[in-house]
């Protein structure tokens, strides 16, 4: 049986009943398993207990997932969120230092939606909290429809920027993506390279320009029905290839 790289998957802290749980979405774990061909391992949001160096020493890759919660604005000197905005301070305390340490250690990283935004904030960038309220921008939120397949349907194209990670994957110059977010990149962090943009100019994908390993983030959700979408699948395959390379070097 072929060896599978060990890929950490970040977790949100959720109240279920009266107790907090560390949870990660099924679609992310399945995409790691079937598309990246890795062994997923949920990483709890326990910043005060995790030894990041020891954790990274034992991992071949890290997937930073999406979430209903938003990064708290004080992390990027933003204005306070409106009342009722979902936050996850335990996740922030874990993922922001973790993504910086992973890139510095040469551990392959893939950020999705909130994970993409975490990458930008972790390296010194900022976020728009409500893109749909800004002049000149599209409404990037999901369709107002209870059917998940409608919410995750292709919503708009993104233009792939030449000479970057996407181009190296062999993808077309434009691909269709889903759109399920209200926040987006405002100020791009130093050291991040724009990989794709939406028709309104919103940054939709980035890479860490100086990283020694795969370090890539997308604003959309390529984990959704990943095996039936060639572009989404290629992202996870490239991530999986990088994780296998790390595993071979580590062992």
Which residues face 10 on adjacent strands? 43
Task: Please state, in angstroms and rounded to a whole number, the distance separating the CA atoms of residues 215 and 81.
Answer: 29
Task: Please state, in angstroms and rounded to a whole number, the distance separating the CA atoms of residues 58 and 82.
Answer: 39
Half-sphere exposure of 241 (CA within 13 A, CB side): 8
Active site residues: 113, 221, 223
Question: Taking the CB of residue 200, how many other CB atoms lie within 10 A of it?
Answer: 14
Classified as helix, coil or strand, 67 is: coil
Q: Which of 133, 185, 180 is nearest to 195 (CA)?
A: 185
Measured in degrees and rounded to the nearest 5, phi and psi for residue 45 equal -85, 75
């Amino acid at each position: 049986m072929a060896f599978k790289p060990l890929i950490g998957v970040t977790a949100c802290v959720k109240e279920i009943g009266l107790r907090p749980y560390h949870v990660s979405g099924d679609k992310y774990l399945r995409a790691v398993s079937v598309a990246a061909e890795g062994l997923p391992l949920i990483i709890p949001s326990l910043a005060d207990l995790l030894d990041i160096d020891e954790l990274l020493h034992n991992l071949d890759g890290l997937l930073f997932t999406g979430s209903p919660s938003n990064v708290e604005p004080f992390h990027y000197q933003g204005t306070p969120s409106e009342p009722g905005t979902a936050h996850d301070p335990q996740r922030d305390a874990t993922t922001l230092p973790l993504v910086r340490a992973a890139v510095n250690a040469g551990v392959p990283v893939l950020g999705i939606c909130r994970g993409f935004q975490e990458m930008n904030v972790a390296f010194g960038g900022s976020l728009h909290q409500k893109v749909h309220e800004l002049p000149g921008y599209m409404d990037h939120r999901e369709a107002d429809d209870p059917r998940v397949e409608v919410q995750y349907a292709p919503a708009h194209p993104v233009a792939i920027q030449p000479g970057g990670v996407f181009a190296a994957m062999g993808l077309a110059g434009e691909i269709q993506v889903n759109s399920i977010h209200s926040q987006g990149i405002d100020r791009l962090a130093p050291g991040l390279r724009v990989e794709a943009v939406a028709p309104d100019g919103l940054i939709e994908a980035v890479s860490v320009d100086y990283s020694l390993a795969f370090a890539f983030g997308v604003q959309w959700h390529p984990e959704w029905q990943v095996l039936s979408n060639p572009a989404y699948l290629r992202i996870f395959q490239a991530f999986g290839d990088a994780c296998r390379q790390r595993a071979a070097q580590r062992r």
